[in-house]
Structure 1
Amino acid sequence: MSTTPSPTPAPASPAALPLPLPERGRGPARLGPVGLVLAAGVSVQFGAALAVLIMPRAGAAGVVTLRLAAAAVVLLLVCRPKVRGYSRADWGTVVAFGVAMAGMNGFIYQAIDRIPMGPAVTLEVLGPLALSVIVSRRLVNLLWAGLALAGVVLLSGHGGGFGSLDLVGAAFAVGAGAMWAAYIVFSARTGRRFPQADGLALAMVVAAVLSLPLGVMEAGPALLVPSTLALGVGVAVLSSVLPYTLELLALRRLPAPTFAILMSLEPAIAATAGFVILHQAMSTTDALAIALVIAASMGAVRSQAGRREKR
């Protein structure tokens, strides 16, 4: 679920094209960073699948709290961000980034607690896709928006499988997409105001603090059970720490549009993780619906990248 506006790492999306493009490599030279991005996507989605297994113990809000709190601790230890010398506007930006992060994680975990991972992440991707269409202001992007809408109609318009989506779960997934779009905007702004990954670490603390009351209310003492705590740390490493690191390394050698296109594969990876870990079946119609949304996302990225190259 995850672009990395330099220098603050963050999940990718079609809207994350303002990134400075690294030097383009050729042939095999790209296999390394491409592999890193794909590994990051697998890590995020299989971490989310692991989180679903913990939800009976701690609930969706409890798992979000464990993930964000553990990730905040790890990032604070690694980054050791400075807290002095920043303006009120700087802190406002990082707080907004943290709020978006908390909302994005909170909503998507509520969604995957109610509906299969494939459609949940597919609906979530609509947020960054909508942002990309709005920012580009190109007529061709209406085509991509229509293609994505067709995928959503397929996703919810037939009986059985993904067609029987829980409406509350679907609403949470769409909400997660809206927060993902906000996340992208404030991630980029935070990256311009804070060095290295300092802004990400501080925003993660904000997100963890915001999620803590909800997690305590839902899970209570279950959050401190050693086995649940250990699994929560595993989710944090798989879903936050490891993918952010891999994406940061990849962006040093991979053009940002290519990075965003690869991250558009998230719904397919999520559906695979749901099938392998959670035994969530997927019909041919379901696969077609997800493929349409992925194609729309990739098309929007390529259109925006082509426009920038012409400037």
Structure 2
Amino acid sequence: MEKITAILCLLIAMFSIQGGASFAKQLFPALGPEATTFLRVWISALILLAIYQPWKHKFSKQALQAVALYGISLGAMNLLFYLSLERIPLGIAVALEFTGPLAVATFASKRLLDVMWALLAALGIVLILPHSDFSQSIDIVGVLFALAAGAFWGLYIIFGKKLGSHIKGGSATAMGMLVAALTVTPTSVSSLHFADYTGYIWLMALAVAILSSALPYSLEMIALRRIPSKTFGVLMSLEPAIAALMGLIFLSEKLSGIQLAAIVCVMGASCGSSLTSRSAEVPPQT
């Protein structure tokens, strides 16, 4: 029963994250990706700080340095992902972003099998790139933004593991989210016009923050305590498909057959890497 509960929590978390991303994209016409990132990350940070209250604890200089690196990578990942989402469909953006964790797994391994999964993911990227035979072209700048977001997701994983050795639990995420909020602020200031924001915009921003960070983080922590990390990683491989479904339902984003095949390649690479890795784990994408 506990395993079933954990799987349900993880599935709800993934639908929540991608639902939040689809709501965020609906804010882009009014706010733009930079201001949307600002509101999402700052609201998330304030919620997590209120819940975990990290100021009640004392942290070493090394721990604070780890928080800074973790938070900067988290902020850059969120900003670059939203910049990509402005230009390309949600399902494709998520699939491309998954290359970050795959790259970390590949570089950490010396086995030929892991290189094979990386090549499968690379095939997915090639299929996504603009080509004369495609039935629907893709914005190359959006692709580059998504790949860059994936690179920072990879750094987020690396720095998150280092941070975990200094600070445990939600305090680490709360402090990291605060640094992420500070990181995205300079690029967002010129896009902010608080006096023009309606109640609807503030409610949507709150929904994005809760759906994209606070709720899925809590659910993923429940899942991680009840199922093996390898099972967690395999289930996380479903996220690009869920993103494509959310994009279709909420954003009317229809993908071509080749684009869907590209997403399947990335999902297959992620699932295969999780199944065959000695320490398969894809940390939550907060």
Is residue 277 of structure 1 aligned with residue 250 of structure 2? yes
- Structure 2 CA distance for aligned equivalents of residues 178 and 73 of structure 1: 26
Is residue 159 of structure 1 aligned with residue 134 of structure 2? yes
Query: In the alignment, what sits opposite 1:125?
Result: 98
SS in 2 for 1:100: helix
| Equivalent position to 1:242, from 215, 223, 238 | 215
> 1:83-162 counterparts in 2 under 5 A?
85-156=58-129, 157=131, 158-161=133-136
Query: In the alignment, what sits opposite 1:305?
Result: 278
Cα pair 1:59 1:219 within 8 Å, conserved: no
Matched residues, number: 279
- Return the letter of the residue paired with 2:134: G
Name stretches of at least 5 consecutive residues in structure 1 with no aligned partner.
1-27
Distance 1:231 1:306, change over 3 A: closer
- Structure 2 CA distance for aligned equivalents of residues 220 and 207 of structure 1: 21
Query: In the alignment, what sits opposite 1:177?
Result: 150
Distance 1:74 1:136, change over 3 A: same
Query: In the alignment, what sits opposite 2:229?
Result: 256
**Per-residue CA shift, 1:48-100, capped at 9, x if unaligned?**
00000011111101010111110111111110113653222111100111101
- Structure 2 CA distance for aligned equivalents of residues 265 and 255 of structure 1: 17
Is residue 30 of structure 1 aligned with residue 3 of structure 2? yes
Is residue 212 of structure 1 aligned with residue 212 of structure 2? no
Aligned sequence identity (%): 36
Cα shift at 1:150:
1.5
- Return the letter of the residue paired with 2:135: G
**Per-residue CA shift, 1:127-182, capped at 9, x if unaligned?**
11011011122111121111111112222244232xx1111111100000000001
- Structure 2 CA distance for aligned equivalents of residues 184 and 264 of structure 1: 16
**Per-residue CA shift, 1:194-235, capped at 9, x if unaligned?**
132111101111111121232221133367543212211110
**Per-residue CA shift, 1:112-139, capped at 9, x if unaligned?**
0011111111111111101101112211
Distance 1:288 1:307, change over 3 A: closer
- Structure 2 CA distance for aligned equivalents of residues 78 and 58 of structure 1: 28
Cα pair 2:91 2:243 within 8 Å, conserved: yes
Name stretches of at least 5 consecutive residues in structure 2 with no aligned partner.
282-286
Q: TM-score, normalised by structure 1?
A: 0.85
Cα shift at 1:29:
4.1
- Return the letter of the residue paired with 1:110: L
Query: In the alignment, what sits opposite 1:202?
Result: 175
Query: In the alignment, what sits opposite 2:267?
Result: 294
> 1:11-90 counterparts in 2 under 5 A?
28-82=1-55, 85-90=58-63
- Return the letter of the residue paired with 1:206: V
- Return the letter of the residue paired with 1:30: K
- Structure 2 CA distance for aligned equivalents of residues 288 and 33 of structure 1: 29
- Return the letter of the residue paired with 1:236: A
Distance 1:307 1:81, change over 3 A: closer
Q: TM-score, normalised by structure 2?
A: 0.93
Runs of 4+ in 1 over 4 A off after TM superposition: none
**Per-residue CA shift, 1:239-287, capped at 9, x if unaligned?**
0000000000111111011101111111111111110000000222222
- Structure 2 CA distance for aligned equivalents of residues 68 and 217 of structure 1: 17
Cα pair 2:273 2:280 within 8 Å, conserved: no
- Structure 1 CA distance for aligned equivalents of residues 280 and 21 of structure 2: 35
Cα pair 1:58 1:223 within 8 Å, conserved: no
Cα pair 2:229 2:280 within 8 Å, conserved: no
- Structure 1 CA distance for aligned equivalents of residues 20 and 120 of structure 2: 29
